[in-house]
Amino acid sequence: MTDDFEQENVAGEELDVIIPGALEGVRIDRALSILTGLSRSEASAILDSGVVSLDGKLIVKASVSLLPGQHLTAMLPAPDSGEVSADSSVPVEVVFEDRDFIIVSKAPNQVVHPGAGQREGTLVAGVLAKYPEMMELARMGLCDPIRPGVVHRLDKGTSGVLAFARTPEGFASLSEQLADRSMERIYIGMVEGHVAEERGIVDAPIGRSSRTPTMMSVRSDGRPARTHYEVLTRIDKPHAMSLLRLQLDTGRTHQIRVHLSTIGHPIVNDARYGHRRERRLDDDRFFLHSQSLAFAHPRTGEWVSQQVPLPADIASMVPEGIEF
């Protein structure tokens, strides 16, 4: 999605899986049904729409048989499951609370809202258990009922600071500030290789990949996207890496990941847009952290700024003495 914007909504949900041995020889339409819970007819319709790929090749035939280890991707319809159910068992770390919004620290590998890959136990379900009034925003038609209060989002593999709206005033203001680019979003990312320049801007339009529908790519017909970067330090061991401070001018889906991969420095452990030189993080985790978020208060206009530290899983990879 967004993140996805690392944080922006796009039509449909993503499926991105490696075919397990249990699905060897299974037709692709049946496998889609098994993996997503969709009916066989719905799976066939998805295939017909040209949004399914296998090892990077577009697939439209429902009769194609699968092999273990193949990479299956697809764009799926957003779940039509009515309203999200609150779930108090989902951990939520609130770092700032206001009548109009809250700011939370999203844990690594936590899914923000229901989608094709996960419909239960999402962060929004936990937030809704604490702030049930957010569902009124969806009932008023301000946002999707499976994403009540969601103004922006982060990819599953990205950790860090994230805001939710609690009132119509909060939702309108935060959405407007995100759209007009006055909301300040700072990330910390570790990338492969030594970035030569001390600072720079990647200014390249991003659109959905024509080859792999669940991925984004730099395209001449894409939407404008700008990412600022600054080198904090360069690391030689266990291999060449650079720690970057990143700031978004725009917020396209997977923007930071796509832009850094495009300039030859993919995010460490990002298997989708780069590679894994060594497995120092969980499979779905990469070294990207939303460090700080700042915006004007919806009612007072006062500047609100919140920051959360790097989680332990990536903080251990940063040399001592580096200041962010």
Q: b/e map of 9-32 (b: 16 or more CB within 10 Å)?
A: bbebbbbbeebeeebeebbbbbbb
The helix-helix angle for 40-48 and 28-36 (nearest 10°) equals 120
Contact (Cβ atoms closer than 8 angstroms) between residue 321 and residue 237? no
Q: How many CB atoms lie within 10 A of CB 230?
A: 14
Contact (Cβ atoms closer than 8 angstroms) between residue 229 and residue 246? yes
Retrieve residue 243's tokens: 């720690």
Percentages helix, strand, coil for the chain (3-state, rounded to 5) are 20, 30, 55
Alpha helices, DSSP H only, in the chain? 28-36, 40-48, 123-130, 135-139, 168-179, 255-262, 312-315
The one catalytic residue in 3, 4, 155, 270 is 155
In Å, how far are 78, 86, 188, 200 from 119, measured between CA atoms? 11, 12, 29, 39
Active site residue 221: no
List of residues 6+ apart from 17 with CB closer than 8 A = 35, 71, 72, 73
Retrieve residue 197's tokens: 């320049």
C-alpha to C-alpha distance for 132 and 311, rounded to whole angstroms: 28
As annotated, the active-site residues are 155
